[in-house]
Amino acid sequence: MTSQLSDDTVHALLSDSQRLHLLSLLNRNGQQKIDELARKLAAREQDTRPANISEETQQRIAIELHHNHLPRLAEHDVVSYDQDEVVLMDVFDELESYLNGQTDDVPAFGQLLSSD
């Protein structure tokens, strides 16, 4: 497989813990509604259950997704999205394999997600 993403791009995309968690959530079923993702990300951020997240907090995270994380990931074809839904694309396999093909100083994907 020819790499589409440079090491610098991979590091930039995976340098944010919220983006890592977003990718983890999408990796579970390939696509999700943005509002659902925002609620889950907010719950993780506040260390609570998604049901406890206010509409205001959910909207704040949804705005961050639309204006920051999703455009960055879409620019490199990791995700595709519209106003309502995000779909994980095949390029994610490259990110996941990069993290799973770890060296001593690069933790596996699951370790990165649980470490923060």
Provide the pLDDT for residue 104.
38
**Domains of the chain listed by start with CATH number:** 7-101 (1.10.10.10)
| pLDDT of 16 above 50 | yes
Provide the pLDDT for residue 94.
80
Provide the pLDDT for residue 100.
61
For 91-108, what is the mean pLDDT?
Answer: 60
pLDDT digits (tens, 9 = 90+) for 20-76: 899 989 988 889 999 999 999 999 999 999 999 999 999 999 999 999 999 999 999
Q: Is 36 helix (H, G, I), strand (E, B) or coil?
A: helix
24 vs 106, residue with greater confidence: 24
Provide the pLDDT for residue 110.
47
Provide the pLDDT for residue 58.
96
For 93-108, what is the mean pLDDT?
Answer: 56
